[in-house]
Copies of this chain bind each other. A is one copy, B any other.
Amino acid sequence: MKLNIACQLNYESQENVPLVLMLRPQSGSGQQVIEEQFLLSPNITFTEYSDIYGNLCQRIHSPIGNLTITTTALVETSDTIDVNFRANFIPVENLPAHTLIYLLPSRYCESDKFSFMAADITQNLPLGYQQVEAIRRWVRSNVVYEYGYSSSSSSACDINQSRIGVCRDFSHLCIALCRGINIPARMVVGYLYNLEPMDLHAWFEVYLENQWFTFDATQEHPKGNRVVLAYGRDASDVAFATQFGNIMLCDMQVSVTAAEIR
């Protein structure tokens, strides 16, 4: 399905603050960008670079006062996600080199502490997809989805203790558990069609049988029509905006709509 996505951010600042944004989708696996727009008001300059994961990043230096960032895009996406209950676990020695970094612990996914728990959740299951699905179901059943209880510094360990959080936290806990049983897992942020309430979203992917599979612990049956903004080891790598100073995000509007046929 072709999706029109849009995100508008309104900032207010009393000082000049450097910002690194990941707000412009790129064509890639499962999505093709047809149109794309990135507007700053006031009309300040920006630069762009690709980070070590290949994400396109925008660097700006906020003005004093108001700053509005508007991004829109028209993107072709897939209506479904790949589901394959028989997708096999790949023994570490056979994993492609580029996936190995997604086995290591990271800031918000202390996977070095989750091996026992992950083995427990997945015991007696065939190795691979069904293990990940069991982890996803476990997190979905045991963590309450609610805003306001976790923060940007909450990690998988924190959430496993509090058992309450949002999409980001659900993903972190799933990722830490997957890595705990040597399945490469990475964080994804982006847009999801029909998300309620509409917002930017976070989910995760795991590497099995020679491809990345999409998983989302916030949905009963994870749906397609996703637009990826960034991939990384966890939220520290894929924040849609990383700010280096005091700047207030006053308002944020996100929309995802089906593009009319033309």
With A47-B32, A93-B61 known to touch, is A104 a contact of B242 (CB < 8 Å)?
yes
Hey, which chain B residues are within 8 Å of A26, CB to CB? Answer: 48
Of A35-43, A138-146, A185-193, which binds chain B? A35-43
Kindly state whether residue A258 has any CB partner on chain B within 8 Å. Answer: no
Are B46 and A93 in touch, CB under 8 angstroms?
no
Cβ of A18 under 8 Å from chain B = yes
Across-interface contacts of A49 in B (CB, < 8 A): 97
User: Does A92 lie at the interface of the complex (its beta carbon under 8 Å from any beta carbon of B)?
Assistant: yes
Decide: B110 and A244 in contact? CB cutoff 8 A: no
In the bound assembly, the distance between CA atoms of A172 and B92 in angstroms comes to 28
From B35, B48, B59, B110, A107 is in contact (CB under 8 Å) with B110
List the B residue with the shortest CB-CB distance to A51: B101
Q: Which residues of B contact A92 (CB under 8 A)?
A: 18, 244
Is A211 interfacial (CB 8 A cutoff)?
A: no
The answer to whether the Cβ of A116 comes within 8 Å of any Cβ in the partner chain is no
Which residues from B are CB-within-8-Å of A110?
Answer: 107, 153
Which chain A residues (72-99) contact chain B, with CB distance < 8 Å?
A: 76, 91-93, 97
Enumerate chain A interface residues (CB-CB to B < 8 A). 16, 18, 20, 26-28, 32-39, 45-49, 51-53, 57, 59, 61, 76, 91-93, 97, 100-101, 103-107, 110, 112-113, 152-153, 182, 236-237, 242, 244
- A34-B37, A104-B107 given. 12 additional CB < 8 A pairs? A20-B100, A32-B47, A34-B39, A35-B37, A36-B36, A45-B76, A52-B53, A101-B237, A103-B244, A106-B106, A107-B110, A107-B112
